[in-house]
Amino acid sequence: MKLLLDTHILIWLLEGNQNLSPKVRQVIEDETNSLYISIVSLWEIAIKTSLGKLQLETPLEKIICDLALHK
């Protein structure tokens, strides 16, 4: 299955947030599924962090590099 992750879900996933239901986490972690992330989601995260509306534990630059390595 192809999954396009919403920005909110992506943030929760990156931050290890427990608000993701076990079913959603299972679908995301299923290696037979293909995960996709829109560049707009990364842009939205960049805007929110630059405005101080979002604080990530991991710097956005590292997140982007890590995501690029897992394409």
**Model confidence pLDDT, tens digit, residues 1-57:** 999 999 999 999 888 888 899 999 999 999 999 999 999 999 999 999 999 999 988
**For residues 49, 54, 57 and 61, what is the CA-based torsion angle, rounded to 10 degrees?**
-20
Q: Is the pLDDT of residue 71 over 90?
A: no
- What pLDDT was estimated at residue 36? 93
pTM for the whole thing?
0.77
Band the pLDDT of 69: cuts 50, 70, 90: low
Residues 36, 2 contacting (CB under 8 angstroms): yes
